[in-house]
């Protein structure tokens, strides 16, 4: 167990645009508000840095992990003395000069401003909806090639995903079997898919893994082409929604009660009853 008893987390909901300075101003205000409430860790959504109006704009605004924006968030984590989940940073790819593609990168910063974990989104969102929404993340994004091991934080062992990763239970199972107590899915769900699937997927991942699930979210209209569903929330290991943001930018709070989590696992020991020999290699790792 990494955490003290029942630490407080803050889960943010924002409406990013292509204006990186405005986005930072919004996010930093929410982080400082959370610090004033004695939160131990703050979770920001996918694309907290920006949402471009076109592929060209998206690529033109990308940075490296050593760039100015991450440095500013490191300073903020140090100033506020809390941990940050930066849920979807547009990171220049390793061969940027030749292929001009990015990673969708989820970072964890500690309260000293150090990068403690990096996960690059593995499942890319390529979809065309009847509503007219067309998103092909693979056109400009490199898929990550590995999972990040759950990271020990003041709120427990946190397993990292990003948005569309939520739809792949094999990934959450691998993280929970590796010791994750908190699964986090910073997101920018479309309105159509959000209305249909957002809450039920978050609750399913919580129930089947007996983990807290933390989902910071984008909300509202980012530009003429893109709108996000919102409803940032926290789900407990029994599947109950214990915190949720209202419409518009804001922050919700929840306590992470790890003794309760371990009691749920003890009283409903589904992890001990799995039969991996019957359904392949998704659950072959022994519990961490």
CATH number of 8-281: 3.60.110.10
**208 included as an active-site residue:** no
Q: Residue 193: its pLDDT value, please?
A: 92
Predicted local distance difference test score (pLDDT) of residue 4: 65
H-state helical runs in 54-105: 55-60, 68-80, 96-99
Q: Active site residue: 27, 80, 163, 211, which one?
A: 163
Single out the catalytic residue among 46, 91, 181, 255: 46
Sequence spans of domains, the chain: 8-281
Three-class SS string for 107-171?
Answer: EEECCCCCEEEEEECCCCCEEECCCCCEEEHHHCECCCCCCCCCEEECCEEEEECCHHHHHCHHH
- Which stretches of the chain drop beneath a pLDDT of 70? 1, 4, 129, 131-133, 281-288
Q: Count other C-beta atoms under 10 Å from residue 113's C-beta.
A: 17
H or E segment and range at residue 280:
none
Q: How far apart are the first and last CA of the chain?
A: 11
| Catalytic option among 121, 157, 211, 245 | 121
Specify the length of the chain in residues: 288
Give me the residue label for tokens 């403690």.
116
Instruction: Indicate yes or no: pTM above 0.85.
Output: yes
State whether the Cα torsion 93-98-100-101 is positive or negative.
negative
Tell me what pLDDT residue 208 has. Answer: 97
pLDDT of residue 226: 92
Q: Residue 52 belongs to what H/E stretch?
A: none
Active site residue 121: yes
Interacting residues of 197 by C-beta distance below 8 A, sequence separation 6+: 167
Residue 170 among the catalytic residues: no
Distance CA 250, CA 33 (A): 10
Q: How far is CA 229 from the centre of its chain?
A: 15
Buried (b) or exposed (e) across 139-161, using 16+ Cβ within 10 A? ebbbebeebbbbbbbbbbbbbbb
């Amino acid at each position: 167990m990494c955490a003290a008893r029942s630490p407080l987390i803050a889960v943010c909901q924002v409406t990013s645009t292509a204006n990186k300075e405005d986005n930072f101003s919004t996010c930093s205000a929410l982080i400082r508000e959370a610090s004033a409430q004695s939160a131990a860790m703050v979770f920001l959504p996918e694309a907290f840095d920006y949402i471009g109006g076109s592929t060209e704009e998206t690529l033109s605004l990308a940075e490296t992990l050593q760039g100015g924006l991450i440095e500013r968030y490191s300073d903020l984590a140090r100033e506020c003395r809390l941990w940050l989940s930066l849920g979807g940073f547009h990171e220049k790819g390793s061969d940027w000069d030749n292929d001009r593609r990015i990673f969708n990168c989820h970072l964890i910063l500690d309260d000293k401003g150090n990068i403690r974990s990096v996960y690059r989104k593995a499942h890319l969102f390529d979809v065309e909806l009847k509503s007219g929404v067309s998103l092909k993340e693979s056109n400009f994004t490199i898929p990550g090639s590995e999972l990040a091991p759950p990271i020990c934080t003041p709120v427990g062992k946190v397993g990292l995903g990003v948005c569309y990763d939520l739809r792949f239970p094999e990934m959450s199972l691998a993280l929970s079997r590796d010791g994750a107590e908190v699964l986090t899915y910073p997101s920018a769900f479309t309105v159509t898919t959000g209305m249909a699937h957002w809450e039920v997927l978050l609750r399913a991942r919580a129930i089947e893994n007996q983990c807290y699930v933390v989902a910071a979210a984008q909300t509202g209209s980012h530009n003429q082409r893109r709108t996000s569903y919102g409803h940032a929330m926290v789900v407990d290991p029994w599947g109950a929604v214990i915190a949720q943001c209202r419409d518009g930018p804001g922050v919700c709070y929840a306590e992470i009660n790890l003794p309760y989590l371990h009691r749920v696992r003890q009283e409903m020991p589904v992890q001990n009853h799995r039969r991996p020999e019957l359904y392949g290699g998704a659950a072959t790792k022994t519990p961490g």
